[in-house]
Amino acid sequence: MGGRDILHVDMDAFYVSVELRKRPDLHGLPVWVGGATRGVVLSASYEARAYGVEGGMSSTRARRLCPDAVAIRPDYDAYEAVSDGVFAIFEAITPLVERVSLDEAFLDITGTRRLLGQPAQVGELIRALVADEQGIACSVGLAPTKLIAKMASNRAKPNGLYQVRPGEVVEFLHPLDVEKIWGVGPSTTGHLHKLGLRTVG
């Protein structure tokens, strides 16, 4: 498990976070971006997620779960503009940026130590710049590989940083439920459970 420093950076509830910049009065309330009563939920605030609302869910079901939530129509131009600003920050840190989506990327920061310090310092710098320049929060996972960095950023959510050092990979992975592995969905989880496999270890 080699000598690379890989960051996975993921914006927290991205569409909702962008909308809350325009509607600070909605901070702390259950909010989703998407249809109010028809269509789908594109992104849900953590307050809405506490009621079971999540991205990809029908708005009808979301409204049943959380009748008092505020639904906001999506503004894709705003999301593109914020995404461009976030990726400009990434590219100022390292040229080795792999875009996963509008709000998610891998960064290879192996060569930045001399200029920017230890990997965790770089991760915190990115979090601070995104918050200061774009007004939204992100979570950062730091690890020797993309897979572990992705899983580490999930552990960091919301609005945190989690580092898995090379010697800590097995200790990090083994207690996790098998469904925490990136790419393992409900169908594969069901097959693994039938085999008696419930944790990575």
Q: Give the DSSP H or E segment for 142.
A: strand 138-143
Residues with catalytic annotation? 104
**CA nearest neighbour of 148 among 11, 4, 16:** 4
Phi/psi at 145 (5° precision): -135, 165
Q: How far, in Å, CA of 88 to CA of 165, rounded?
A: 27
Q: Quote the distance between the C-alpha of residue 69 and its chain's center.
A: 22
Using a 10 angstrom Cβ sphere, with 0-12 exposed, 13-18 middle and 19 or more buried, the burial of residue 9 is buried
Q: Quote the distance between the C-alpha of residue 92 and its chain's center.
A: 20
Q: How far, in Å, CA of 155 to CA of 162, rounded?
A: 7
In b/e form, how buried is each residue of 151-189, taking b as 16+ CB within 10 angstroms? bbbebbbebbbbbbeeeebeebbeeeebeebeeeeeeeb
Using a 10 angstrom Cβ sphere, with 0-12 exposed, 13-18 middle and 19 or more buried, the burial of residue 84 is exposed
